[in-house]
Amino acid sequence: QQHFDFPYQSVYLYMSSVAAVLLWHAIALLVVSSLASGSSLNGTKGRRGEVIFAHNGAVATDDRRCSRIGMDVLREGGSAVDAAVAAAFCLGVVSPASSGLGGGAFMLLRFSSGVAKAFDMRETAPSLASKNMYGGNTTLKAKGGLSVAVPGELAGLHEVWTQHGKLPWKRLVKPAEILARRGFKISPYLHMQMEQTESDILEDKGLHSIFAPNGKILKIGDICYNKKLAETLRTISEFGPQPFYGGLIGRNLVKDVQNAGGILTMKDLKSYSVKQKEPLSIDVLGLKILGMPPPSGGPPMMLLLNILAQYDLPSGLSGALGVHREIEALKHVFAVRMNLGDPDFVNITEVLSDMLSRRFAKVLKNDINDNKTFGPSHYGDKWGQIYDHGTSHISIIDPERNAISMTTTVNAYFGSKILSPSTGIVLNNEMDDFSMPRNVSKDVPPPAPANFIMPGKRPLSSMSPTIALKDGKLKAVVGASGGAMIIAGTSEVLLNHFVKGMDPFSSVTAPRVYHQLIPNVVNYENWTTVNGDHFEVPANIREALKRKGHVLQGLAGGTICQFIVLDILESSTKNKGIGKLVAVSDPRKGGFPAGF
Which range, of 76-90, 540-554, 565-579, averages the lowest pLDDT? 565-579
Residue 423 in any domain: the answer is yes
Cα–Cα distance measured from residue 474 to residue 565, given in angstroms and rounded to the nearest whole number: 9
76 and 122 co-located in one domain: yes
Q: Is 461 annotated as a binding-site member?
A: yes
pLDDT, average across residues 131-144:
95
Confidence of residue 55 (pLDDT cuts 50, 70, 90): very high
- Residue 283 belongs to what H/E stretch? strand 280-284
Question: Residue 387: its pLDDT value, please?
Answer: 73
In a domain, 321, yes or no: yes
Residue 285 lies inside a defined structural domain of this protein = no
Please name the residues in contact with 10: beta carbons below 8 A apart, sequence gap of 6 or more.
Answer: none
Count of domains observed in the chain: 2
Q: What is the pLDDT of residue 9?
A: 35
Which residues are bridge partners to 223 per DSSP? 185
Q: Which position among 373, 391, 529, 559 bears the catalytic label?
A: 391
**pLDDT > 70: what percent of the chain?**
90
Domain final residue pick, 343, 363, 379: 379
Q: Which of the residue ranges 3-7, 422-426, 444-448, 522-526 would you say has the lowest mean pLDDT?
A: 3-7
What pLDDT score does 390 carry? 73
Phi, psi of 565 (to 5 degrees): -115, 135
Q: For the chain, what's the residue count?
A: 596
| Longest CA–CA separation in the chain, Å | 67
Classify residue 312 as exposed, middle or buried by CB count within 10 Å of its CB (0-12, 13-18, 19+): exposed
> What is the rounded CA–CA span in Å between residue 546 and residue 552?
7
Mean pLDDT of 165-188: 98
Confidence of residue 530 (pLDDT cuts 50, 70, 90): confident
* Residue 113, marked binder: no
Residues 399 and 466 in one domain: yes
Domain end position, chosen among 379, 402, 417 = 379
Structural domain contains residue 286: no
pLDDT value of position 47: 67
Higher pLDDT, 19 or 145: 145
Residue 364 and residue 323 in contact, taking contact as beta carbons nearer than 8 Å: no
Which stretch of DSSP H or E encloses residue 508? helix 504-509
Which pLDDT score is estimated for 158?
99
Query: Which of residues 346, 379, 412 is at a domain's end?
Result: 379
Q: Are residues 79 and 228 in the same domain?
A: yes
96 in the same domain as 65: yes
The one-letter code for the residue type at 414 is F
Q: Angle of helix 80-94 relative to helix 169-182, nearest 10 degrees?
A: 20
Provide the pLDDT for residue 8: 37
Pair (358, 270) in one structural domain = no
Let me know if residue 476 belongs to a domain: yes
Q: What are phi and psi of 405, to 5 degrees?
A: -125, 120
| pLDDT tops 90 at residue 583 | yes
pLDDT attached to residue 409: 97
More confident residue, 422 or 20: 422
Could you give the CA distance from residue 250 to residue 122 in angstroms, rounded to a whole number? 18
Check if the beta carbon of residue 334 is closer than 8 Å to that of residue 517.
Answer: yes
Which of the pair, 212 or 568, is modelled with greater confidence? 212
Mean pLDDT of the region 406-412 = 97
355 and 483 co-located in one domain:
no
Check the annotation: does 183 bind a ligand: no
Structure confidence at residue 21 (pLDDT): 36
Residue 187 lies in a domain: yes
Are 199 and 162 found together in one domain?
yes
* 313-327 pLDDT, tens digit each: 999 999 999 999 999
Predicted TM-score of the model (pTM): 0.92
Range of the domain at 325: 293-379
Looking at the structure, do residues 333 and 397 belong to the same domain, yes or no? Answer: no
E strand residue ranges, 85-229: 104-110, 116-121, 184-185, 223-224
3-class SS of residue 396: strand
Give the span between the Cα atoms of 525 and 553, in whole angstroms. Answer: 9
Least confident of 221-225, 252-256, 288-292, 380-384: 380-384
Mean pLDDT over residues 477-488, rounded? 96
Calpha distance 428→268 (Å, rounded) = 15
Give residue 216's pLDDT: 97
Judge whether 391 counts as a catalytic residue: yes
Cα separation, 490 vs 559, in Å, equals 8
Q: Are residues 335 and 465 in the same domain?
A: no
Annotated binding-site residue? 410: yes
Contact 468, 289 (CB under 8 A): yes
Higher local confidence (pLDDT), 82 or 390? 82
Average of pLDDT values for 137-166? 97
Residue 158 maps to a domain = yes
Same-domain check for residues 166 and 245 = yes
What CATH number does the domain containing 297 carry?
Answer: 1.10.246.130
> Is residue 7 very low, low, confident or very high in pLDDT (cuts 50, 70, 90)?
very low
Please say if the pLDDT value at position 29 is more than 60: no
pLDDT higher at 21 or 152: 152
* Residue range 520-533: mean pLDDT, rounded: 94
- Amino acid, single-letter form, for residue 254: V
Residues 267 and 340 in one domain: no
Between CA 220 and CA 185 the distance in angstroms is: 7
Establish if 147 belongs to a structural domain: yes
Mean pLDDT over residues 499-517, rounded? 97
How confident is the model at residue 278, as a pLDDT?
98
Q: Do residue 198 and residue 269 come from a single domain?
A: yes
pLDDT for residue 26 is more than 50: no
Give residue-wise pLDDT tens across range 199-248: 999 999 999 999 999 999 999 999 999 999 999 999 999 999 999 999 99
